[in-house]
Structure 1
Amino acid sequence: MRIHLTSVFVDDQEKALRFYTDVLGFVAKHDVPLGEDRWLTVVSPDAPDGTELLLEPSGHPAVGPYRAALVRDGIPAASFAVDDVQAEFERLRDLGVRFTQEPLEMGGVTTAVLDDTCGNLIQLLHSA
């Protein structure tokens, strides 16, 4: 068994696509119109056939309270592995990304948490 697809709820799919591709560096994989919304996925450029991240519309009534509670409590909606958290932090901060947690080393793990501008906190992670 493998993880094929996971998702984050986003306020605006077009804005999310720009952030996840232009800023974070993912590449678009699928973009299929579905009425007012789209089946919109991105993947790592290093693994184009790997796990897809669905930029899922946040229209369901349960999504707002769920995401608000996560953000209020500082809980990331997703975690992305990087080779160097400090370097990614600096690169993204220079692009104007807002971080809610600067790089923090905890044992053999370093993390940072950013605001994806689409309603979510995202964790960057590197484990030694």
Structure 2
Amino acid sequence: MRIHLTSVYVDDQAAAERFYTEVLGFVKKHDVPVGEQDRWLTVVSPDDPDGAELLLEPARHPAALAYREALVRDGIPLAQFAVDDVRAEHARLSGLGVRFTQEPVDAGPVTVAVLDDTCGNLIQLATLPG
């Protein structure tokens, strides 16, 4: 068993696509119209194009909205992405105007930082022990 797909609920799929591809550096895997205004829109790591996909899912369902709002209010990241060097990625993304809610910090064997994805979520970046 392996993880194939997970979702991030977003306010606006077009804005999320821009942020997750142009800023974070993911690449679009699938973009299929679903209904009149939604898309089955997934992104993947350029280092693992056949790996786990991240679905940029519209956040219109009341449960999704309440869930996201509660996580953000409490400062809890919705997802964690691994990076080779959190401090370097923080510097790169800060230079692109990304707002961090937590600067890089050593947390035992990992270094973490938390960013605002501009789409309604907090995302944690982590450098895991090698």
TM superposition score normalised by structure 1 = 0.99
Q: CA RMSD in A?
A: 0.5
Amino acid in the other structure paired with 1:24:
L
Determine whether 1:38 maps to 2:39. Answer: yes
1:39 is paired with a residue whose SS is strand
- Structure 1 residue ranges (4+ consecutive) displaced by more than 2 angstroms after TM superposition: none
* Identical residues among aligned pairs (%): 75
Determine whether 1:29 maps to 2:38. Answer: no
Offset of 1:25 from its aligned partner? Answer: 0.1
Unaligned runs of 5+ in 1: none
Match of 2:6 in 1: 6
Offset of 1:125 from its aligned partner? Answer: 0.4
1:14 is paired with a residue whose SS is helix
Amino acid in the other structure paired with 1:18:
R
Count residues in correspondence: 128
- Map 1:1-128 to 2 at 5 A: 1-35=1-35, 36-128=37-129
Offset of 1:127 from its aligned partner? Answer: 1.5
Deviation by residue 1:62-105 (Cα, 9 ceiling, x = unmatched): 11111110001111011000000000000000000000000010
Unaligned runs of 5+ in 2: none
